Amino acid sequence: MTTYDKIYINGAWVPSQGKGVLEVTNSATEEIIATIPDGTAGDVDKAVAAARAAFPAWSNLPKETRAEYLMKIYAGLEERTQEIAEAIAREVGMPVGMSTMIQVGLPKGNFAIAAGLLSTYEFEQQIGNSLVVREPLGVVGCITPWNYPLHQIALKIAPAMAAGNTVVVKPSEVAPINAFMLAEIIHAAGVPAGVFNLVTGVGPVVGEAIAAHPGVDMVSFTGSTRAGKRVAVVAAENVKKVSLELGGKSPNLILDDLDEAGFAKAVGAGVGKCFANSGQTCSALTRMLVPRNRLAAAEQIAAAAAAKFTTGDPFDAASRLGPLVSAVQRDRVRGFIQTGIDEGATLVMGGAAVPEGLDIGFYVQPTIFSGVTREMTIFTEEIFGPVLSIIAYDSEEEAIEIANDTVYGLAAGVWGSDVEHAKKVARRLQAGQVEVNGGSFNIAAPFGGYKQSGLGREGGTFGLEEFCEVKAMQL
C-alpha cells in the first residue's frame, strides 16, 4: 500500500491541515492500495493564496515559455505512461491496454494541443476601432471526476495554464493516485511555484471550499448534474465564471435506410459505444433507437456483440470489461438493472446477478434491455454502467422526438446510408457532439453539452477560450 501523506501547494509537498485519511481501493481485488489526505477548507485557502501570488508572473511570461513548460509535462507523462496506465487500471477498472491508449493517451494529447495552440492562436483581434483581447482570468479551481481521472484534469489545467491562469485542483478521492503522479511530473518540469496546486479531499469540503472561495476567479467542474448544480449555486455568491460538464443519457439513432450489413455494423458499433470503460462514460450512447420492424434483429446483433465483451481482471489481456470503480457504483448499477426488470423491460442478456466466477471485485454483467419505453427509469436515468437500452420507433420524426426526450444533451449518434441525410438528422438532435456513422472522437473539437449536461466547452480552441476573459479597447 502506498501512503500519500502530503498535498502539493506553492511548489512543495506539504502536510494537510486535515488529520484524517481517505482510502483508495483496487476495483478488481477490493484491497486498499493507497491512502491520501482528507483535506480541509484551510488547505484550499493556502492553495488559492499560492495561486494568486503566482498569477502575475505566470500570466506575463511569453506564451512560448508557457508552451515549453506544457511540453515538458507532456514528456513527463510520456516517460511514465505505463506506470500511470496501470495505476488507473487499478483505480477505475479499465483494462490496462485501453488505459494506456485512453486514460494516458488523451491527457498527453491535451497538453500537446494546448502547447500547439500557443503558437497559432491569436489572443488579439481588431474589430472596427476596437482592439479585442483575450486575457487570463486569474485563479481557476478545477474539480474533477473518477471515470477518466487524468484526462479530466489535463483537459482543464492544460488550456487554463496555457492561457496564463494558475490552478487549484481537487481530484476525485476515488481515483486520485494519477493526480499525485501528475503533480510529481509538474514539479520535475520546473513549473513555477504556485502555478499548479493539488488539494485532495471530499467534494462537500474541498470542492465546496473551491467553489465558494472569493479568491477563485473561475470554477471548472466535471461530474454529476446534481453536484454541478451545487457548484453553480455556491459559485454564484461571488458571480464567478463556471464551466460544467455533467451527465448524459445519450441516444444512438439508427435510421431505417441501412441495408442488412450496414444495420449490423451500426448496432454492433453501438454496443461498443455504450460499454466503453464499463459504461462509466458520461457521453456513452446508452439509448439505441431502432426501427420497430428491425427490433428483433437489433436484439440478436447486440447480444452477439455484447457476448464478445469478456468481463474480468483489467490486467488480463482477454478482458474487454473490467470492474466498476467502487462497491457503491456496482450496487447502484445492479439496482438500475433490477429496476429495469421490475418495470417490464425485456432482458436480452446480462442481469443484476454477480458475473460467474467474479465474486471479488466490483463487477457487473454486460446487460442489454429491449422493449424500453419512455416511462421506465432506465430510459431517463444515467446508469453509468454497461447497460444498453434498445428502443423501437415507428417513424424518423418519432425517433428524433424520443432521442431529444431527456434532460441531458451531451452526446448522440446517427447511423444512415445517406450521409447527408444523417447529418440533417444530427442537426436536429439536442446534443453537444454527434457521431455520424461512427465518426471518431476528436480531442481538439469542442466537448460539452446542451440542457442539464452542462455549460461551456472543453477541448482545443474552444477549451482555451473558456479560460479567458474578453476585453475591448476602443481606439
Note the pLDDT of residue 110. Answer: 97
CATH number at residue 12: 3.40.605.10
Residues 193 and 289 in one domain: no
The reply to whether 191 and 282 lie within a common domain is: no
Task: Check whether residue 279 and residue 410 sit in a common domain.
Answer: yes
Quick one: DSSP state of residue 254? E
- The verdict on 301 and 223 lying in the same domain is no
Dist. CA 152–CA 372, nearest whole Å? 32
Question: At what angle are helices 81-92 and 177-188 packed, to 10 degrees?
Answer: 160
- Co-location of 389 and 460 in the same domain: no
Identify whether 393 is part of a domain.
Answer: yes
189 & 217 share domain: yes
The CATH number for 288's domain is: 3.40.309.10
Our measurement of the distance from residue 178's CA atom to the centroid of its chain's CA atoms, rounded to an integer in Å, reads 15
Q: Is 445 inside any structural domain?
A: no
pLDDT, position 356: 93
| pLDDT value at residue 97 | 96
Q: Would you state the pLDDT for residue 459?
A: 97
> Do both 153 and 50 map to the same domain?
yes
Q: Check the CA dihedral 171-88-327-331 and report its sign.
A: positive
Report H helices in 189-259: 208-212, 225-236
Q: Is residue 442 one of the residues assigned to a domain?
A: no
Assess if residue 332 is contained within a domain. yes
3-state SS assignment for residue 90: helix
Nearest to 422 by CA among 440, 398, 439: 439
Q: Do 174 and 230 fall into the same domain?
A: yes
Burial of 302 (0-12, 13-18, 19+ CB in 10 A): buried
Chain-centre distance for alpha carbon 189: 26
In this predicted model, what pLDDT tens digit does every residue of 219-262 receive, in sequence order?
999 999 999 999 999 999 999 999 999 999 999 999 999 999 99
Could you give the C-alpha distances from 464 to 26, 113, 167, 256, 467, in angstroms and in order? 34, 10, 14, 39, 6
Residues 116 and 257 in one domain: no
Residues 146 and 292 in one domain: no
> 458 CB contacts (<8 Å, ≥6 apart)?
155, 156, 159, 220, 243, 245, 446, 447, 448, 466
* Nearest alpha carbon to residue 216 among 90, 326, 52, 444: 52
The pLDDT value recorded for residue 254 is 98
Domain count of the fold of the chain? 2
Q: Is residue 421 one of the residues assigned to a domain?
A: yes
441 domain-assigned: no
Per-residue confidence (pLDDT) for residue 247, from 0 to 100: 95
Domain contains 175: yes
User: Known catalytic residues?
Assistant: 245, 282
pLDDT tens digits for range 368-426: 999 999 999 999 999 999 999 999 999 999 999 999 999 999 999 999 999 999 999 99
| Same-domain status, 226 and 351 | no
Strands 130-136 and 139-143: unpaired
Identify whether 443 is part of a domain. no
- The backbone region for 459, taken as left when phi is positive above 0, alpha when psi lies in -120 to 50, beta otherwise, is left
The domain containing residue 115 runs over which residues? 2-246+451-474
Grid cell 494529447 in the structure block, residue: 109
pLDDT, position 51: 99
Q: Mark whether 58 and 148 lie in a shared domain.
A: yes
What digits encode the pLDDT tens for the residues 272-297?
999 999 999 999 999 999 999 999 99
Query: The whole model's pTM is what?
Result: 0.96
Residue 345 grid coordinates: 423491460
Low-confidence ranges of the chain (pLDDT < 70): none
